[in-house]
């Protein structure tokens, strides 16, 4: 496949080596316009905005991933394999499973348990592939969090294919296994990074509590209040 790809209408070298990927393309726009120096829009196909600029003088790109493993799978695959991106840091929202997490807490996904068949269909491994983050990026995130004074929770995430689930009781099993929070993209990102020999990390801000639906952020709050997570991701460049 040549560039532009079917899903990214950007020229060669349009992306920096490191890309921050929120799920929401409007959040990508918000980050670019409020954090980057001289951001330039490099993609708008299907409304999936991508920008490249600098942060404290270092090149960085911001691009939406969309929701779910299929969408993240497409965009991260094309970035890794056709646009020579080396590092993708997902910066998104998650629902807490662990009872001790509070709204606004930042979680680093060391691994991504999943209900999705993405890895099975993609890799056809003769067993269960365990999607994990890149150790190098985890070290960078921990160092940056220490400098910024951000409390960083680290552990397993659950990447789910469903947002609305008829069987919420099933989450108790993940709670018993120490899983911290549930989101929808990390496993596909980690699978693609492993196959491409690249680096990936998922940073999530807790936007709601799955066992207490009265505690949740609004869409506007999710778009504009994830300052700790965004600052942490950008400080890793």
Selected catalytic residue, list 120, 208, 212, 228: 208
Burial state string for 112-147 with b = 16 or more CB within 10 A and e = fewer than 16: bbbbbebbeebeeeeeebbbbbbeebbebbeebbee
HSE-CB at 230 with a 13 A cutoff on CA atoms is: 22
Please give the pLDDT value at position 164.
Answer: 84
pLDDT band at 207 (very low <50, low <70, confident <90, very high): very high
213: Cβ–Cβ under 8 A, 6 or more apart, which residues?
none
Model confidence, pTM: 0.95
Please give the pLDDT value at position 224.
Answer: 58
Residue 166: active-site member: no
pLDDT digit string, tens, across residues 57-85: 999 999 999 999 999 999 999 999 999 99
Give the residues across from 63 on adjacent strands: 50
pLDDT digit string, tens, across residues 135-154: 999 999 999 999 999 999 99
């Amino acid at each position: 496949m040549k560039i532009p790809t079917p899903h990214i209408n950007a020229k060669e070298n349009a992306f920096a080596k490191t890309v921050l990927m929120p799920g929401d393309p409007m959040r990508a726009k918000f980050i670019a316009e409020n954090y980057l120096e001289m951001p330039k829009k490099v993609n708008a196909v299907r409304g999936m905005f991508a920008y490249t600029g600098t942060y404290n003088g270092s090149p960085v790109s911001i691009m939406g991933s969309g929701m779910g493993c299929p969408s993240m799978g497409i965009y991260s695959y094309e970035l890794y394999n056709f646009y020579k991106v080396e590092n993708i840091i997902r910066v998104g929202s998650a629902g807490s499973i662990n009872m001790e997490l509070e709204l606004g807490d930042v979680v680093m996904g060391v691994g991504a348990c999943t209900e999705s068949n993405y890895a099975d269909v993609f890799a056809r491994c003769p067993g269960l592939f365990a999607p994990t983050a890149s150790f190098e990026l985890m070290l960078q995130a921990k160092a940056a969090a220490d400098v910024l004074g951000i409390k960083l929770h680290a552990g397993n995430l659950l990447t789910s294919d469903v947002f609305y689930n008829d069987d919420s009781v099933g989450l108790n099993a993940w709670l018993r296994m120490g899983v911290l929070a549930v989101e929808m993209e990390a496993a596909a990102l980690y699978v693609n990074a492993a196959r491409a020999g690249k680096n990936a990390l998922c940073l999530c801000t807790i936007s709601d509590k799955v066992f207490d639906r009265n505690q949740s952020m609004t869409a506007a709050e999710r778009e504009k209040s994830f300052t700790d997570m965004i600052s942490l991701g950008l400080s890793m460049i």
